[in-house]
Copies of this chain bind each other. A is one copy, B any other.
């Protein structure tokens, strides 16, 4: 597997995880079949489309490459078929969102560098690609945006994007650098949910 295929595979895994989080959230809002498919696709591809527009990758891969749509549809149908199973999970939207977060942060940062942009663009768009789809999901479905929650969220994506940019800059071996970022991102996010970790907050008076 060459490097391009490897990163495309990471992107597909992120797409799959985010599509599940979108399908579950849409299903919880009792949308119809087309609504579930639409939200799953928007969550899965929205962040990547923002990234591609900003780096000048026109048309965005999420629109022009049929595999993204296929993965999003497949993930939605699986979610619907296995919904009784999904429903028993603790907060499946946040779980699959946390999975997709790392994949998209790493891939977004890498793709921005491949397009010749500087490391700031790569880090910012890694985070944007990672959190963009989830923000669209929460805004469209009138959910409280995850970025407003108290736990570590976008900062976990930031860590993954920075690790990937370091890896690309110093030519660290690409077979393990992305996985380090993905695992650390997921661990940070998931442990912060489980143990209610927080970044420093401010608590003097009624704000």
A45-57 to B contact mask, C-beta < 8 Å, 1/0: 0000100011110
Within 8 A of B (CB), among A134-160: 135, 139-142, 144-145, 147-148, 150, 152, 154-155, 158
CB distance from A182 to the nearest CB of B (A): 20
Residue among A59, A69, A87 with most chain B CB within 10 A: A59
The answer, yes or no, to whether A124 is at the interface (CB within 8 Å) is yes
Q: Which of A60, A139, A147, A200 has the most C-beta atoms of chain B within 10 angstroms of its own C-beta?
A: A147
- Are A54 and B53 interface neighbours, CB within 8 A? yes
Q: How far is the CA of A158 from the CA of B41 in the complex (A)?
A: 14
Q: Which of A45-100 contact B (CB under 8 A)?
A: 49, 53-56, 58-60, 63-66, 69, 80, 83-84, 87
* Copies of this chain: 3
Q: Are A63 and B54 in contact (CB under 8 A)?
A: yes
Are B59 and A201 touching (Cβ within 8 A)?
Answer: no
In the bound complex, CA of A48 to CA of B78 (Å):
33
Q: List residues of chain B with CB within 8 A of the CB of A34.
A: 152, 154-155, 158, 199
> How far apart sit A68 and B140, CA to CA, in the bound complex (Å)?
27
**Docked pose: A87 CA to B204 CA in angstroms:** 11
A170 at the interface (CB under 8 A from B): no
Task: For chain A, residues 17 to 58, give those with C-beta under 8 angstroms from any C-beta of chain B.
Answer: 27-35, 38, 49, 53-56, 58
Question: Contacts A29-B148, A54-B53, A207-B27 given: A59-B121 contact, CB under 8 Å?
Answer: yes
Closest 6 A-B residue pairs measured CB to CB? A32-B199, A56-B58, A34-B155, A28-B207, A32-B201, A63-B121
13 extra A-B contacts, CB within 8 A, seeds A31-B201, A35-B147, A139-B139: A30-B201, A31-B147, A34-B199, A35-B199, A38-B147, A55-B59, A59-B117, A63-B125, A69-B120, A69-B124, A84-B204, A87-B207, A141-B148
